[in-house]
Structure 1
Amino acid sequence: MAAAPPPRLAEAHPLVRLWRHATAFRRRIVMGVVSSVLNKLFDIAPELLIGVAIDVVVRTDDSFVAQIFGVRDREDQLLVLAAITAVAWILESISQYVAERIWRGLSQDLQHGLRMDAYRHVQDLDLAWFEDRASGRLLTILNDDVNQLERFLDVGADKIVVTITNVVAVGAVFVAISPMLALMAFLPIPVIVGGSLLFQRRLAPRYREVRERAGRVGGLIGGNLGGIATIKAFGAEQREAERVSRASIAYADANRHAIVLSSAFVPLIRMAILTGFVLTLVLGGHAALNGDLEIGLYSVLVFMTQRLLWPLTYLGETLDLYQRGVASIRRILDLLDTPIVIRPGARELPDGSPGAVRFAAVDFSYRDAIGGDGDGERPGGSAVRTTVLRGLDLDVPAGETHAIVGATGAGKSTLVKLLLRLYDPDAGTVAIDGIPVGELSLRSLRGAIGYVGQDTFLFDGTVAENLRYGAPDAPDDALRRAAELAEADGFVQALPHGYDTPVGERGVKLSGGQRQRLTIARAIVRDPAILVLDEATSAVDNETEAAIQRSLLRVSHERTTIVIAHRLSTIRHADRIHVLHEGVVAEAGTHEQLVELGGRYAALWAVQTGEVATTG
């Protein structure tokens, strides 16, 4: 199982972790911050100029403009102010355009980059990791959480930068004009900041719960859509609708629980703002009336009080975006921090590899999580091992067809998973042509194997696209040859558009036997050194089974073939049959030898043929 992320990363703030991860985007993040800061500085300039304009009217030729620019005429002074104001507005508009372009572009590119990083990482995780998790929750992270991050970067990040810049810049103006009034104006800010921190701490767990319950809803809906035929067959539509409804209501309740707290934030902020504004208005007015403060400066402070405190009313909305974004960032980066257990080797199989397979003293156990969070290896839970293979030895010489049989749970499919390195053995070696599979690159290893499973998975595309899945550059004649070998060409040619006919999601437009023949053809198109058939005829009728048997005899010729089967009639002609029992090869030989032996294989054969046999 995957271990927990390193403590240092797990304890770091999600935004710090995002900064560490997004190295390619750091320059653009800095540019976005700089643009937002400049935009806010240009935005507050008009309030300063209003005070300067009042100063022109009150002090005439002794005004600030007259002293700086040497312009004595009041009309000319106003024209100077008008020009400066126009420049400030133009620069503010330009900087806003630049900031929005940067942040919105960054939000799109970063969310795409994170989604693809997460998706590629997930593809590299071992199969056991997927078996412990609902696919719907994983989809929630790759879709909903990434989209939430996009929204935060698009809107929330800019608002945070602008708010901080506003407080610092306006505060500097207050301190320069009147330290006493600066103190009065800033009096509510500790209350606002303290309240924000309190709200943040209380909102964080609520939004984590929101994301978790969103994952639960996604998992249920995804699972039900995948099993819609079973739901209909059992008449369970209403029951499943009620299950989804309960999960959806739980999600809505979690959201309401968070909204109750976040909605109370703005009204409380407004009361604090009112206090600061009234203090500035009264105390500043008193100083202006007594001649201790210039009228123009008093006007600046009144306007600046609004500018300082009023944007903080949006702090609740910004905090809401922040908390949702942080919760999503944490889940995305936790996924990215999941260790990759199956690491590829560096060796390559030579061209024309004969494909001899050997299992030597292989031990393997599945780990089942009990308690905790479902990860088995994490605190709060324990891992229980289910031993499947015990010192197993099995040889498949190159070019031969070997079958593996045994009772359910004997470990037949586990051998295939070990050969494909979907798992690594606990002990022993799995090798191809004498090279341990752990030393091979995954591309070379899996490129040498054509796999056909009992789950006939086809992608939503055309017949040709599915046949080319393992060999994207395969020519049309190669597809037809493979289809002919798999006895699929006949029905494909009869489809409305032949090889260009869409098969639907998971191949729903085809019958089970047609899907199975196409998966065999798909494996043949790769021309693999090793062909693996895992219960390839378990879900087809007798006629289709007979057709598949004929095709298997053709495609396995001079190719290493491993067949896992319950139907013993499909493997009668195998060069050697291995019978698994309790994690080891209990019997091995040809069909005739094993029947004559009168052991476990003979008993299985008797059951399937209706004969009577005595187990040896």
Structure 2
Amino acid sequence: MSARDDETPFDAYREDVERPLSKLFREYAPGRLGWFSAGMVANFLARMASLVPPLLLGVAIDAVFVGDGAFELPLVPDAWLPTGEMAQFRFTVVVIVGSFLVVALFTWIYGVTANLFAHGVMHAVRVDCFEKMQRLDMAFFDEKQTGEVMAVLNNDTQNLEMFLDNAVMNSARLLVMVGGIAAVLFYLNWQLAVVTLFAVPAMVLFTIWFMRVVEPRYVRQRSAVGRLNTRLENAISGVGLTKATSSEGHETERVRDSSRNLFDRTMDVLKLSYLYRPGMELLAGLAFATTFLVGGLWLATDTAPGPLTGSLSVGDFVVFLFLTQRIVDPLAEVSNIVDQYENAKASSERVFGLMNIPVHVDDPADPADLGPVEGRVTYENVSFSYADTAGRRAVEGDETAFEETVIEAVSFEANPGETVAFVGPTGAGKSTILKLLLRLYDTHEGTVRIDGHDVRDVSLADLRSAVGYVSQDTFLFDGTIADNIRYGHFDADDAAVRDAAEAAQAHEFIGELSDGYDTRVGERGVKLSGGQRQRIALARAVLADPEILILDEATSAVDTKTELQIQHSIDRLTEDRTTLAIAHRLSTVKDADTILVLEAGEIVERGTHEELLAADGRYATLWAAQAGDRETAVETLVDREDSQ
């Protein structure tokens, strides 16, 4: 796999994201700091309460059971403490039970508030990512990076939620526990505390090394997740073609390659994790063993070992053993925290990388008022190339950043109520020309106008509400037929939906379905035929009642009889509106006011049907071929090639 193939649409922009997790908090924590603060306080109180039982146990052992110490607690006045042994014993039991109740209560509060904060951020990030995704240029989606976007919306936001819910709070818990335990140990016996905590600096250094080494591996792992999602999404979308061509083995192999790549990247991470986690547990275990060894010798010989001085009570030794064991778990948890941190860092870079992808087709800063649309469409010397903006940088003003020109110096005008038809071979640029009117792309050179307004000067909402678009690649959402006809005009009533369906010759077949207009069409409309889907799409355009109508081979998926029926409806629909139509079957556009013949992105002929036939050029050749005079068409083509 080459470096270019390995690159995702987010990589170039991800590299520019500085301190992504800090940015996550700056942009999404405000407004949710109440939950976050409550969780931090509850976490602190729960951890502090959990230190009370072992400390009180040590005091009780020395004062009540051994009888070799005073019943004293730090920060608690002696006057508050009982004096008799049985009273001290009962006090110890009650306080220990109360401590566990406090731990349970504040742990519950922490769990609720931490999840409200974490899931709230995740919800906001997911919605913002989806909103940004919808604003991205069509060039981005031409690269078929649906799987990458899905990885950001699902996997990456989930990683952020786990980090905010677990890693952040566990980090606070770790600091509180280590700090609190260290304070108690130093209070009881500072010399043995130094022995117990000797492993902490080594753990810190080990953690710093691990974070530096594992970070790039997490980045590669997240990219591999996106590539696998893309492969799976494409395979599922194209399952019909796969089955029709018996290519299941080929698709399985491609998924296997992507899955293996993810497996390898994941193992790169896990290999380090398998080294780091046992290493942290080993250091924590050594701290416990050293404490037991030194403290045990101290008690057994009643002499401070080595350079240590003073005495050690049985109760203090028990507290050290309890708390040293308590410190093992949070220190060992550092490995999980680091894992979640690095994973979240890589994911947040991808999230903000998506956010940072520039949108070239957007509303102007001060949009002009399109006003009541008459329907005059003008193309003035329009040229277009597919800019390489689908996730990779296109250098402004650098001609090498653009691919081969698709549209070259196209000029024409459609007056209100006129029909302009576009014909020509596949790949001539017909669909691209009309997508420029909707600003699905922006022109490279030249201007597209509606009623004299440059389409780049008006808001996208105003522009697209004035233009209806029926594509040859009809898309239906998983929902009812009525929902799909109503899409874009969601407040339309049932009568309007039915009228639109009748106008598009769709009402009859809808009535024959078991649930009529409430029939669910399935994902992408798979439960309907191609012709049925096109008639629903046409009904959607009829319901919108736009001033300008674009028909991109709107009858390409229907039989001849249905085409005639739909064409009759189209003729009525286009009577009082400007229509730009692309047709493969020339018979459907022979009555157009103007017919433009395109080849290689250029207009090579223009005129009415009769004028173009009289000119005996390319249009006449196409008409002869479709009319059945194939022999004449072939002779004409041969003569033209000989003359050239």
Output the TM-score relative to the length of structure 2.
0.88
Alignment of 1:135-534 (within 5 A): 135-285=146-296, 289-290=302-303, 291-345=310-364, 346-347=366-367, 352-368=372-388, 375-377=392-394, 383-534=401-552
Residue 581 of structure 1 deviates from its aligned partner by: 3.8
Three-state SS of the structure 2 residue aligned to 1:557 is: coil
- The counterpart of 2:50, out of the listed 38, 43, 46, is 43
Residue 556 of structure 1 deviates from its aligned partner by: 0.6
Residue 100 of structure 1 deviates from its aligned partner by: 0.4
Q: Which residue of 1 aligns with 2:4?
A: none
Q: Is the contact made by 1:348 and 1:444 (CA closer than 8 Å) also made in structure 2?
A: no
Q: Which residue of 1 aligns with 2:89?
A: 78
Residue 285 of structure 1 deviates from its aligned partner by: 4.6
Three-state SS of the structure 1 residue aligned to 2:82 is: coil
Alignment of 1:576-591 (within 5 A): 576-591=594-609
Residue 235 of structure 1 deviates from its aligned partner by: 0.8
Q: Which residue of 2 aligns with 1:558?
A: 576
Q: Is the contact made by 1:36 and 1:158 (CA closer than 8 Å) also made in structure 2?
A: yes
C-alpha distance in 2, partners of 1:321/1:347? Answer: 45
Output the TM-score relative to the length of structure 1.
0.92
Residue 273 of structure 1 deviates from its aligned partner by: 1.9
- The counterpart of 1:34, out of the listed 38, 41, 49, is 41
Q: Which residue of 1 aligns with 2:623?
A: 605
1:562-597 deviation line (CA, Å, top 9, x unaligned): 101222111101111122344443332211112212
1:34-58 deviation line (CA, Å, top 9, x unaligned): 3222221222222221222123224
Three-state SS of the structure 2 residue aligned to 1:264 is: helix
Q: Is the contact made by 1:61 and 1:72 (CA closer than 8 Å) also made in structure 2?
A: no
Distance 1:259-1:6 versus aligned 2 partners, 3 A rule:
closer
Three-state SS of the structure 2 residue aligned to 1:364 is: strand
Q: Which residue of 1 aligns with 2:109?
A: 98
1:337-365 deviation line (CA, Å, top 9, x unaligned): 22222221354756642222112232221
Q: Is the contact made by 2:277 and 2:335 (CA closer than 8 Å) also made in structure 1?
A: yes
Q: Is the contact made by 1:532 and 1:561 (CA closer than 8 Å) also made in structure 2?
A: yes
Q: Is the contact made by 1:394 and 1:585 (CA closer than 8 Å) also made in structure 2?
A: no
Alignment of 1:122-141 (within 5 A): 122-141=133-152
What is the alpha-carbon root mean square deviation over aligned residues? 2.7
Three-state SS of the structure 2 residue aligned to 1:10 is: coil
C-alpha distance in 2, partners of 1:35/1:131? Answer: 49
Which amino acid is the alignment partner of residue 60 of structure 2?
A
Which amino acid is the alignment partner of residue 246 of structure 1?
D
Q: Which residue of 2 aligns with 1:547?
A: 565
Distance 1:133-1:18 versus aligned 2 partners, 3 A rule:
farther
Name whichever of 555-564 and 153-162 sits farther off: 153-162
1:107-144 deviation line (CA, Å, top 9, x unaligned): 32222221111111100000011222421222122122
Identity of aligned residues (%): 38
Which amino acid is the alignment partner of residue 355 of structure 1?
G
C-alpha distance in 1, partners of 2:419/2:395? Answer: 43
Q: Is the contact made by 1:3 and 1:378 (CA closer than 8 Å) also made in structure 2?
A: no
C-alpha distance in 2, partners of 1:11/1:241? Answer: 36
Residue 28 of structure 1 deviates from its aligned partner by: 2.7
Distance 1:94-1:597 versus aligned 2 partners, 3 A rule:
same
Q: Which residue of 2 aligns with 1:12?
A: 18
C-alpha distance in 2, partners of 1:384/1:598? Answer: 36
C-alpha distance in 2, partners of 1:402/1:495? Answer: 36
Q: Is the contact made by 2:377 and 2:450 (CA closer than 8 Å) also made in structure 1?
A: yes
Which amino acid is the alignment partner of residue 314 of structure 1?
E
Distance 1:439-1:26 versus aligned 2 partners, 3 A rule:
farther
C-alpha distance in 1, partners of 2:69/2:60? Answer: 12
Which amino acid is the alignment partner of residue 315 of structure 1?
V
Distance 1:32-1:133 versus aligned 2 partners, 3 A rule:
farther
Distance 1:349-1:453 versus aligned 2 partners, 3 A rule:
farther
C-alpha distance in 2, partners of 1:595/1:144? Answer: 59
Asked whether 1:572 is paired with 2:583, we answer no
Unaligned runs of 5+ in 2: 1-7, 304-309
C-alpha distance in 2, partners of 1:175/1:122? Answer: 55
Q: Is the contact made by 2:10 and 2:391 (CA closer than 8 Å) also made in structure 1?
A: no
C-alpha distance in 1, partners of 2:10/2:83? Answer: 76
Q: Is the contact made by 2:595 and 2:609 (CA closer than 8 Å) also made in structure 1?
A: yes
C-alpha distance in 2, partners of 1:112/1:143? Answer: 11
Three-state SS of the structure 2 residue aligned to 1:451 is: strand
Which amino acid is the alignment partner of residue 257 of structure 1?
D
Unaligned runs of 5+ in 1: none
C-alpha distance in 1, partners of 2:149/2:226? Answer: 8
1:241-281 deviation line (CA, Å, top 9, x unaligned): 22222322332333233223212333222321232223323
Which amino acid is the alignment partner of residue 536 of structure 1?
A
Distance 1:443-1:278 versus aligned 2 partners, 3 A rule:
same
1:4-54 deviation line (CA, Å, top 9, x unaligned): 8779x8352331121122133344333323322222122222222122212
Residue 517 of structure 1 deviates from its aligned partner by: 1.1
Q: Is the contact made by 2:357 and 2:391 (CA closer than 8 Å) also made in structure 1?
A: no
Q: Is the contact made by 1:2 and 1:341 (CA closer than 8 Å) also made in structure 2?
A: no
The size of the alignment, in residue pairs, is: 610
1:209-239 deviation line (CA, Å, top 9, x unaligned): 3322222222222111111111111111122
Q: Which residue of 1 aligns with 2:72?
A: 64
Name whichever of 180-189 and 50-59 sits farther off: 50-59
